[in-house]
Amino acid sequence: MSLLRRVAASIATTTIAAGFFLLPAAPAQAAGVGYVRLAHLVPDKIECDMYIHLNSVTGDVLQTLPAVKYGTVSAYKSLPAGTYSVSMRKPGDPPNSPPVLSTSVTVVEGKGYTVARIGSPDKSEARVIEDDRTPPAANKGKVRVVQAAQRTLDVTVEGGPAIASSVAFASATGYKEVDAGGRTFSVAPSGGQAVKLQQNVASGSVYSILVTEDTSGGVKATILTDARRDGSMPEGGVATGGGGSRPDDMAFPMMLLSTLMLVAAGLLIVRRRAT
């Protein structure tokens, strides 16, 4: 076998092997963990530092969100199953100082939780809201409403069932199944203008419609992703109503694979011309 042929064969073999090894792995759930995200759902201008502690409110800090504003929802943090404390303090206060609000959350394997500062400006509390990650039926998604605007709401989906009616302030509804695909949701506050919200509902995924007040006295609605159809939790940083984004972990491997394929093809062309 000529040197050129041996090089071409070697690169071709490497390319095929790379193709197998660089294929994206099926998503896997982390064993023994649950998921917690933090939210500020009180319609005021007060900011707070939020902490997740191991054990008590003065225990080791596992996560810190500084100066969190109304309408902010964090990404999920995976935590081993167990009981944790969530505390909320004035911005800049030491993490071991007495909190303004606090609560505990018992994390169960595979479950998701939203721990929120919620209520009216003059009467807020720290509350644990369980996020239902149970998959919906085939070709369906699941949607609920998290209501952080000081009025009652009706939420519907065009061409489908009512999601929730007369939803009270500072509450979270149960989940309703809706058909997968492009959907338009209507959030209608009592005595106000309805807001339309478009979302591509992925089959098997779970969502929350977060409703907050805007600066003009109306309401605004944002879709949060509670769980994806592959069972994974949304990733990303803190954002107002953001479900986070997933980085393209395959970009570099696929670039490498493409380069190997091009080199192999070029050598084969040179060989054919030489013969």
180-228: pLDDT as tens digits: 999 999 999 998 899 999 999 999 999 999 999 998 889 999 999 999 8
User: When comparing pLDDT for 22 and 117, which is higher?
Assistant: 117
Look up the domain containing 225 and give its range. 135-230
Q: How many domains does the chain have?
A: 3
pLDDT digits (tens, 9 = 90+) for 26-35: 334 455 999 9
- CA dist 136 and 98 (Å) reads 42
- 170 and 42 in a single domain? The answer is no
Strand partners, 84: 54, 105
- 222 and 237 in a single domain? The answer is no
| 3-class SS of residue 198 | strand
- 38 and 162 in a single domain? The answer is no
Task: Average the pLDDT over 166-174 and give the result.
Answer: 98
> What are the residues whose beta carbons fall under 8 Å from the beta carbon of 251, sequence distance 6 or more?
none
pLDDT digits (tens, 9 = 90+) for 110-156: 999 999 999 999 999 999 999 999 999 999 999 999 999 999 999 99
- CA dist 251 and 183 (Å) reads 30
- 72 and 8 in a single domain? The answer is no
- 120 and 243 in a single domain? The answer is yes
Single pTM value for the model: 0.75
Whichever domain contains 194, its CATH number is 2.60.40.2890
pLDDT at 58: 86
- For tokens 């395959």, the residue is 250
Report the relative pairing of strands 72-73 and 195-201 from DSSP bridges.
Answer: unpaired
| 3-class SS of residue 3 | helix
Torsion of CA 22, 28, 30, 36, to 10 degrees: 110
- 36 and 121 in a single domain? The answer is yes
- CA dist 25 and 93 (Å) reads 43
pLDDT at 18: 40
